[in-house]
Structures are given as C-alpha cells and as structure tokens.
C-alpha cells in the first residue's frame, strides 16, 4: 500500500495505558502530536512522517518541536530528525529515537516511546 495518507492529532500522554507503562507516562511532559504520515515504501512497511510535538503544559507550554523522517515501524530501532521548533525551541536540531513498546496488529493500536535529544539556543 503506497497511497495511505493519515492525518494525526494525538495526545502523546493519555495516562490510561497499561499499568506497567505508568512510569513512562508520568515521566513524559504533556504534549500533543499533530501532523501527517503516509506510506512510502513498496519493500517494507514504512511511513514518511512529519509532525509537531506541541507542549501543552508546564515549563515549555506553547513551544513546539518539528519532526520529520522515515519510519519503518516494524523495525525495532528507528530515528526521526528534529529539524526545528518554535518558542523556546527556535533553531532546535536533534533526533527522536523510537521504540515500539506495544503493537496490536489487529487494531493497529500502538504505544511508542520517543526518546528525544535536542540542541537549542
């Protein structure tokens, strides 16, 4: 499938995941993920993703990180590029390392851990 385009507006932290995930949810800052992804590979399942991580609470509220890259989501290790941001993260550069914690192939539901490292001024 080379032509699926999906618009996303997901809460990154929703707090009602499995009990064993409680720590991850509590550590993560509150933010939303807003953007688009589409399948971009004939050889394997991979998405092109472009989205903003929008901080909605706390110290960085109102700031964003702009993320873009290729996500072969069945691979254990994936990396997306942080190419910029707004607010405190203007001129930010970095990477987001993605780790799928839970994936249900029946429903398509997944919990993905983002480990984000950025340099900013």
Ligand X SMILES: *[C@@H]1O[C@H](CO)[C@@H](O)[C@H](O)[C@H]1NC(C)=O
Q: Which residues bind ligand X (CB under 6 A)?
A: 104, 106-107
Residue number of the CB closest to ligand X reads 104
CB of 113 to ligand X, least distance (A): 17
Q: Which is nearer to ligand X, 23 or 107 (CB)?
A: 107
**Could you identify the residue written with the tokens 């607010």?**
87
For the CB of residue 118, give the shortest distance to ligand X in the complex, in Å: 33
Q: Do you know the residue count of the chain?
A: 121
Q: Which helix (H) or strand (E) element contains residue 48?
A: strand 47-55
Residues 6 or more apart whose Cβ sits within 8 Å of residue 21: 101, 102, 111
Residue closer to ligand X (CB basis): 16 or 107: 107
């Amino acid at each position: 499938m080379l032509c699926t385009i999906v618009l996303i507006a997901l809460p990154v932290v929703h707090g009602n995941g499995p009990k064993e995930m409680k720590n991850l949810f509590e550590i993560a800052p509150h933010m939303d993920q807003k953007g688009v992804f589409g399948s971009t590979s004939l050889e394997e399942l991979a998405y092109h993703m472009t989205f903003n991580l929008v901080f909605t609470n706390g110290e960085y509220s109102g700031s964003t990180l702009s993320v873009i890259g290729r996500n072969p989501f069945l691979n254990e290790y994936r990396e997306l590029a942080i190419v910029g941001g707004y607010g405190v993260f203007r001129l930010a550069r970095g990477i987001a390392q993605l780790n799928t914690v839970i994936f249900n192939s029946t429903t398509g539901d997944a919990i993905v851990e983002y480990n984000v490292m950025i340099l900013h001024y």
